[in-house]
Amino acid sequence: MQNATYNHTESTATVSEHPPKRKVGTNLFLCPMPVTIVGTMNGTRPNYVSAGWVTRVNTTPPMLGVAIAKSRITPVSILDEQAFSVNYPNHDLLVETDYCGLVSATTKDKSLLFDSFYGELENVPMIANCPMNAECVLVEMIDLPTDYLFIGEIVAAYSSDEYFRNGVPDVRKVNPILLTMPDNSYWTLGEYAGKAWSLAQGYKGRA
């Protein structure tokens, strides 16, 4: 994650029956984004870095895409181990999560912040303090101008019964940290809006 600000322009475009549109620069983010902590081995000890640019990228097999700045040590660790973890902290870990994005493993031992555990991949540390965790094997790395995009296949995922309802994760119980950019702010989850892939059943609009 990198700090960012909009480069506003004065150009506008008129859209019928809607407020006028204007260009707001190309530094656009879809918001909010879930804040995660990526885990790797840095030599013989776990290392963790916060990451907000994380998304599901494939259905079967399940894969995650994680963007990490080239300036971090984490890309080197991922390439060395060919694996990484994605940990989903809640608001109880807000300060620790932010700290993981501020300091480098070259100067601080961030493994001391959490209780680490290991799953099927013995070289992938995960954070027991986090409500949900996923361990991934590296499938592909895409070299972008300022970041690396790592695509990993989920080998196993972990959680506790307290974060589930009716057999599926309950996002309110998980209480994830959400990030908006370029204002670089953390948020809590908003109100329930409706059932996905169900609301439009029987819709007879303009389409």
Q: In CATH, what number is assigned to the domain containing residue 65? A: 2.30.110.10
Q: Per the structure, how many domains does the chain have?
A: 1
Instruction: Identify whether 68 is part of a domain.
Output: yes
Coil, strand or helix: which one is 137? strand
Q: Which domain holds residue 81?
A: 29-181
pLDDT at 143: 97
Look at the chain and count its residues.
207
Instruction: Identify whether 6 is part of a domain.
Output: no
97, two tokens: 């999560």
Pick from 47-56, 121-130, 181-190: least confident: 181-190
The residue with tokens 């973890």 is 85
Tell me what the pLDDT averaged over the chain comes to: 89
The residue with tokens 């984490």 is 74
Quickly count helices (H) and strands (E) in the chain.
3, 16
Q: What confidence category does residue 71 fall into, taking pLDDT thresholds of 50, 70 and 90?
A: very high
* Nearest one of 143, 203, 187, 180 to 5, comparing CA atoms: 180
Instruction: Identify whether 2 is part of a domain.
Output: no
- pLDDT higher than 90, residue 32: no
Instruction: Identify whether 39 is part of a domain.
Output: yes
Whole-Å CA distances, 23 to 17, 26, 192: 18, 8, 31
Instruction: Identify whether 48 is part of a domain.
Output: yes
- pLDDT higher than 60, residue 15: no
Report the b/e string of 46-76 with b at 16+ CB within 10 A.
Answer: bbbbbbbbbeeeeeeeebbbbbbbeebebbe
pLDDT at 12: 52
Instruction: Identify whether 177 is part of a domain.
Output: yes
| Cα 33 from Cα 18, distance rounded (Å) | 27
Pick from 58-62, 109-113, 153-157: least confident: 109-113
Instruction: Identify whether 56 is part of a domain.
Output: yes
Instruction: Identify whether 191 is part of a domain.
Output: no
